[in-house]
Amino acid sequence: MNIASINIPESATAAQYPPIPEPNMLTEFFWEGIANHQLLILRCGSCGTYIHYPRPICPTCLSMDDLAPAQVSGRGTIYSHTTTVQPFHPYYVDKVPYNLIVVALEEDENIRITSNLIDFPNDDIRIGMPVEVTFQEVAPGLTLPLFKLA
Partner 1 sequence: MAKRDRVAAIGVGYSTTGRRTGLNRRQLVAQAAKAAMADCGISPDQIDGVVLHAGVAGAEPPGLDWIDALDVAQMLGITPITFYNSDQGGPAYFHAAISAIAAIQSGQAHTVLTVRVINQRLSSAEERDSVQGPMRISGDSQFTMPFGSVTPIQTIAALPAQRHMERYGTTEEQFGAHVIAQRANAVLNDEAIMRDPLTMDDYLNSRYVSKPVRLLDCDYPVDSASAVIYTTEERSRDFAKKPVFVESAAASATDILPAGFEKLHDLNMNSPYHAAKTLWSRTDLKPSDVDCAQLYDGFTIIVFQWLEALGFCGEGEAGSFVESGATRLDGSLPVNTDGGACNVGRRHGANFCIESIRQLRGNESGARQVKDAEVAVWANATGPFSGAVLMTAD
Residues that bind partner 1 (CB under 8 A): 8, 12-14, 16-24, 27, 30-31, 52-53, 79-93, 95, 97-98, 100, 102, 110, 112-116, 126-127, 142, 144, 146
**Smaller CB separation from partner 1, 27 or 38:** 27
**Smaller CB separation from partner 1, 65 or 85:** 85
**Smaller CB separation from partner 1, 100 or 150:** 100
Measured between alpha carbons, how far is 92 from 18 in angstroms, rounded to an integer?
A: 8
**Residue 78 Cβ vs partner 1, minimum distance, rounded to whole Å:** 10
**Residue 112 Cβ vs partner 1, minimum distance, rounded to whole Å:** 5
Q: Which residue(s) pair with 114 in the sheet?
A: 102
**CA 88 distance to own-chain centroid:** 20
User: DSSP letters along 119-131, please?
Assistant: SS-GGG--TT-EE
**Residue 63 Cβ vs partner 1, minimum distance, rounded to whole Å:** 19
**Smaller CB separation from partner 1, 75 or 81:** 81
Measured between alpha carbons, how far is 120 from 107 in angstroms, rounded to an integer?
A: 24
**Residue 95 Cβ vs partner 1, minimum distance, rounded to whole Å:** 8
Omega of the bond prior to 69 within 30 degrees of 0, cis? no
In the chain, the amino acid numbered 104 is A
State the CB neighbour count (10 A cutoff) for residue 5: 12
